[in-house]
Amino acid sequence: MLKTKLNIRQVRDQIYIYLNGFLRPFLTGFILYFGFFIPLSLKSSEDLIPNIYYQALRYMAAQNYDEAINQLTALIQTSPGFLKAYIKIAEAYQGKNELDRGLNFFTTLAETAPHNPYVYQGLGLIFKAKNNYQKAIEYYHRTIQLDPENYSAYKELIDTYNQMEKLEDGADDIKNMIQSDSKNPTVYYALGYYYQVKRNFIKGLENLNKAMELHGNPMEINQIKGAIQYFCGEYQNLLNLSEKSLQLAMIKNDLEFQCVFSGYLGLAYLYLSDDSTAIQYCTQSLILSRELGDRPKEVSNLINIGMAYQSQMATQSALDYFHEALQKSLLIGDIRKVGVLYCDIGYAYSLIGDYACALEFYKKLLDLLKDTDDVYLECIGYNSIGYTYWELGDYTKAIEYGELGIQSAQKMGNKLFQTRNIVVVGLAYSNLGKYIESLNCFHKGLELARDQENLYWQGICLGNIGMVYDILGNPVRSLECYHRAIEIAKTFENKNEIGRALNNIGNLYYYSICNYDSAYIYYKQALQIAEETDNLRYQVDFLGNIGCYFILKGEYESAEKYLNKALKTAEELHYHRGKANQHLNLGNLHLDMKRFTTAHQDFRTALEIGQQISEQEIVWQAQEGIASVYQKQRKYKNSVDHYQLAITAIENIRTTLIIDELRIGFFRTKIQIYEHFIQLLAKLHEQYPSQGYDKKAFHYAERAKARSFLDIAAHEKEFHHLKEIPPDFREHFLVNQKELLIKHTALSKELQKTRDAHDKNRIFLLENEIEALEREKAGLIKEMKEKSPDFYQWSHPKILHVDDVQIDVLDKKQCLIEYFVAQENLFVWLITKDCFIFKTVHLTKNELKSKLTQISPLFIKEKSDALDSQIDHRWAHIRPDMLHALYQLLLEKPAGDFLRAGVELIIVPDDMLFYFPFEMLVRKMNTQNIQYLAEVYPVSYTSSASLLHPELRKATHAENGLLAFGNPDVTNEQPKGILDWIRSLASYKPILRGNRLAPLPYAEAEVKEIANLFEASEVYTGQKATEANFKQQADKYRFIHLATHHIISDQQPMYSKIILAQTDDDKEDGYLQTYEIYNLDLNADLVSLSGCNTGLGQLARGEGLIGMTRAFLYAGVRHLVVSLWPVEDASTSVFMVHFYQYLKSGLKTNVALQKAKIDFIDSEDTESNPFYWAPFVLIGNPE
């Protein structure tokens, strides 16, 4: 099912007030009177500007410049203070291309009226048109001297300096004027305009507000403020400002300012998604601009109306207006507007799927750009072309043009256009399966939108970030982003974005939460909105999702109706991605209905489209669909090829995800395909036992296990050591790690508070900052791969085959047993140096879970009804009969004939088996005797056989013996955070090394007695067992033993804690947390963690348990002894002493651990119960 991507803004952001110079009045409008719209041209008032002025404008529009000059000359004779007439006379002479006559005209006027400032302004305009900018500036200065509050003169002065490419000189000029007359509001207006031209909008607003404080002309000032608000995306503010300014213009009977602010209102309504009101304003403005003969304004209004119709998805109406605007732009020779219209027309054609026409107009735009250096045109052009190529599925070209657009926007200093182009690039990367790059783009876009306080684009970027998190299997972050996007969209009444987010929330409920009925409700709401807004592309996606719901429900007739409607619409729109997804959905429908030939055709069609547009998500789903069809048809060998191709496509995406969390989330949602493939290979092995399908099944099981950890174990840690890495790169990497540590520490402190005291906004901010640093690190690793390919080849982990395990991993006494838990079966591989067995155990996943929970409450994940004080061997109530039954299923049936006494077992568990210590399985039992597996075989564990490859073993450099911490003092007078809450709980017995932080007297005795076994040891207890001491000493020792409390966090495994002494140290909080261990560089052969649950963590399918164990292995430790459930202080102390005694006697680690367990089993008291000895397991390959 499709994760709906963003349909780039239905309303385009071209700003046409820039055309023909900055902020010339460009739109007219109408007034609101008693609820009715009345054209301003019909409003009568004695104070209106004389009709002769408007008649002159009509003559100018008709290029009858002589008559216009006659009318305007007559006007200034009767009204010599009417500034606009002088400006229009200068423009008329420029239109006639008779600048010398214009110069004579104004020179003569200056002789007769030397104190009239507007005469000198006319001279300035003539000299500016003649490109004699210095002379123009002289006359503007003369104008300002005579009329210090002439707003248009200041504006022309800045524009002239800009044309000279000496804008900074203009700023200096204005600042000198401020020094001379700091109470003049007009000079602050001029400085505000300068900053608006420079795109420094904050400074611009500061100066404009200052001008307003000094009682400057509000309409002149608000004209510039409105433009800034538009550029910043402050559309509601623009609306409010324009309404007030329009009322003032009406009071003053200033029709041209009424035009300006009516136009602003049209734009504001356009971007606030009130398209109908926007069309009304722009249409009234269009009528008036035609009446006045103002063709540039007429073109602008045609464009804006077209944009509004396009927003309403009335694309043909939009095209009519755009084509009319194009013809008029060509007539008046407005090259910029011509380029804008090529872009708009091309975009409109792309919306109706006519990509040939779209590309034809984009080619015209590109040809136009060759002859101009108009950066603005480049910005909008590259953005539209990039978006169209994205729609076509040509993601490489989409990225190419999007990046060109970003470069142009940066040159222009326009963050809005940067954001728009960044979003196009991000969408293309997402479709190519490059999710890290995609997230980088969307986060950068979000940052830029926040800088502009542009809520609209913040919502777009948040929605896209949520989409990527959804694909990567992080539903919590995804849902958070979607809800924030909806909140923003509601403020703008942006129905399209609300519908998109609702649909994607439906996808979360469907795939991640498996609440299908709730998903259906969201899909229906989304479809209703898409139908209301006539958004056909979204209708395709949403109809398809509803069709999938009906497939799940077995309502095939309804499913077929929705899916066929979606496919038909996608074909009409030439919506390639939509077509591919509907063929995938129809393929699944026909597969369920056993229409295998039709299903095969659907999947083939989807595959062809997916390959054509290079969309890996479509490719792997289509390959899996074809494989499933062949499997249903019992064409198993054909099915194998397509499963392999599907998995290759998935792993091609996975290799781009360098961030550990993202790799794990992405892979978690894809594990099912490995399960289906292994199931198929098992069937083929039964039919063709000598053709190697058993070994292929093992290899693909390995490809599904601990892949993320295998990657980081192979190369990330080496960045601290390899000489081949350039020093500046290594330094950058270490700085990144330091920043990550700081942010993790801050987040940890926030999470330690009680839930009611959490600052949710701060948590959200810190999580985003941590992710940004992780993405930065991912970029460094990517750069390292590109610059040092030899390093990458060295560090790229190898996924082992059976032969590799036999040759490189195992010795003659070792036997590796790997499990893969599928929904319907349990698969088991047994490998020794000279033997290989593959078996299918007919045990469903639910049956396995039931058997574990029947053994003991220890294996029930939710143990909220049991307090630490109740957990002991009586509460655990371990049932030997169930342990024997499970032994028969897990070992005896698949491997019993091949296991010899004395063999060392290496267990590779899967899924819920990670929680289970195999040593407690009962091999034999009768009324008088029980024999546990631990009595016969030494056992160790690993998440993946590939993790045992010798190349991954780190050479240790520690020379000292034992570093031990025991019974740290947690009774500091000022306990911190979580400790305060924990100590408030009731007292209890027995003492467990878990959440309730009582003193651990036996732990102290434990570390001291163990230390006596080593020649070189360092022991820290009580107040000295600090976090600082551990970090300072840990890298110097071969053996590390921590006999402390341990607090596990399943939901936030990076913040599980080993509790050390609570002190007043400002740098350390006494909690050695998972994220801190990742940043250590240890040299230990063995770390023993004898607290509660130290081997547990968050279970991630395809990775195993993510917690302390993973962190210590990553930090460089070879082996760990950890616990799988709460452990009691006194018995644990005895057990650990026995273990180390055997270890120091020369036994291998796994054998030493076995001997300690046998000692307990043979004891005659309660310690013989598995509750006391079975939780301790060895992680890693024993040496």
Q: How far is CA 548 from CA 1, 143, 573, 627, in A?
A: 7, 72, 21, 20
- The contacts of residue 742 (CB under 8 Å, 6+ apart) are none
Q: Which of 276-290, 571-585, 947-961, 1138-1152 has the lowest mean pLDDT?
A: 947-961
- Indicate whether 1117 belongs to any domain: yes
Reduced to 3 states (helix: H, G, I; strand: E, B; else coil), residue 908 is: strand
pLDDT in tens, 810-832: 999 999 999 999 999 999 999 99
| Phi, psi (rounded to 5 degrees) for 1083 | -125, 20
pLDDT given at position 994: 56
Which CATH number characterizes residue 1104's domain? 3.40.50
Shared domain for 86 and 170, answered yes or no, is yes
Shared domain for 962 and 928, answered yes or no, is no
User: With 60 as the cut, is the pLDDT of residue 10 above it?
Assistant: no
User: With 90 as the cut, is the pLDDT of residue 542 above it?
Assistant: yes
Between 935 and 998, the higher pLDDT residue: 935
- Indicate whether 969 belongs to any domain: yes
**Mean pLDDT value across residues 658-672:** 67
pLDDT given at position 78: 87
pLDDT given at position 747: 75
Q: Do the Cβ atoms of 343 and 384 come closer than 8 Å? A: yes
Which CATH number characterizes residue 147's domain? 1.25.40.10
pLDDT given at position 798: 78
Among the candidates 900, 915, 941, a domain finishes at: 941
pLDDT given at position 865: 46
Q: What percent of the chain has pLDDT over 70?
A: 86
- Indicate whether 1019 belongs to any domain: yes
The predicted model scores a pTM of 0.69
Whole-angstrom distance, CA of residue 321 vs CA of residue 345: 10
The sign of the CA dihedral 1038, 1042, 1043, 1048 is negative
Between 871 and 1059, the higher pLDDT residue: 1059
797 pLDDT tier (thresholds 50, 70, 90): low
Give strand ranges (E) for 262-335.
Answer: none
β-strand pairing of 1037-1043 with 960-968: parallel
Shared domain for 885 and 975, answered yes or no, is no
Give strand ranges (E) for 690-813.
Answer: none
Residue that the structure tokens 């220890």 belong to: 858
Whole-angstrom distance, CA of residue 30 vs CA of residue 43: 9
- Indicate whether 254 belongs to any domain: yes
Between 1030 and 20, the higher pLDDT residue: 1030
Between 99 and 960, the higher pLDDT residue: 99
- Indicate whether 417 belongs to any domain: no
User: With 70 as the cut, is the pLDDT of residue 295 above it?
Assistant: yes
Shared domain for 773 and 806, answered yes or no, is no
Q: How many residues does the chain have?
A: 1183
Shared domain for 85 and 188, answered yes or no, is yes
Shared domain for 91 and 170, answered yes or no, is yes
Shared domain for 881 and 997, answered yes or no, is no
pLDDT in tens, 64-95: 999 999 999 999 988 899 999 999 999 999 98
Whole-angstrom distance, CA of residue 730 vs CA of residue 1013: 40
- Indicate whether 13 belongs to any domain: no
Q: How many domains are contained in the chain?
A: 4
Shared domain for 779 and 890, answered yes or no, is no
Residue that the structure tokens 């001008």 belong to: 211
**Mean pLDDT value across residues 503-514:** 89
Between 24 and 366, the higher pLDDT residue: 366
Q: What percent of the chain has pLDDT over 90?
A: 50
Shared domain for 899 and 1015, answered yes or no, is no
pLDDT given at position 663: 58
Between 787 and 286, the higher pLDDT residue: 286
Which CATH number characterizes residue 839's domain? 3.30.420
**Mean pLDDT value across residues 309-321:** 88
Shared domain for 935 and 975, answered yes or no, is no
Q: What is the DSSP string of 989-1055?
A: SS-BSSSS----HHHHHHHHHHHTT-SSEEEEEETT--HHHHHHHGGGEEEEEEES-EE--SSSGGG
1183 pLDDT tier (thresholds 50, 70, 90): low
- Mean pLDDT, the chain, rounded, equals 84
User: With 60 as the cut, is the pLDDT of residue 791 above it?
Assistant: no
pLDDT given at position 1102: 65
733 pLDDT tier (thresholds 50, 70, 90): low
**Mean pLDDT value across residues 228-254:** 88
- Indicate whether 761 belongs to any domain: yes
pLDDT in tens, 867-877: 445 678 888 89
pLDDT in tens, 973-1023: 444 444 443 444 334 345 666 556 778 889 999 999 999 999 889 999 999
Shared domain for 1072 and 927, answered yes or no, is no
- The contacts of residue 29 (CB under 8 Å, 6+ apart) are 40, 246, 258, 259, 261, 262, 263, 265, 266, 281, 284, 285, 288
Cα angle vertex 425, ends 423, 430, to 5°?
Answer: 95
pLDDT given at position 43: 30
pLDDT given at position 648: 87
Q: How far is CA 603 from CA 549, 606, 618, 626, 910, in A?
A: 19, 5, 10, 6, 32
Shared domain for 244 and 274, answered yes or no, is yes
Among the candidates 310, 332, 366, a domain finishes at: 310
Peptide bond into 990 cis (omega under 30): yes
Q: Do the Cβ atoms of 933 and 1146 come closer than 8 Å? A: no
User: With 80 as the cut, is the pLDDT of residue 212 above it?
Assistant: yes
User: With 90 as the cut, is the pLDDT of residue 718 above it?
Assistant: no
Range of the domain at 1063: 958-1144
Among the candidates 288, 310, 332, a domain finishes at: 310
- Indicate whether 494 belongs to any domain: no
pLDDT given at position 282: 86
pLDDT given at position 699: 93
727 pLDDT tier (thresholds 50, 70, 90): low
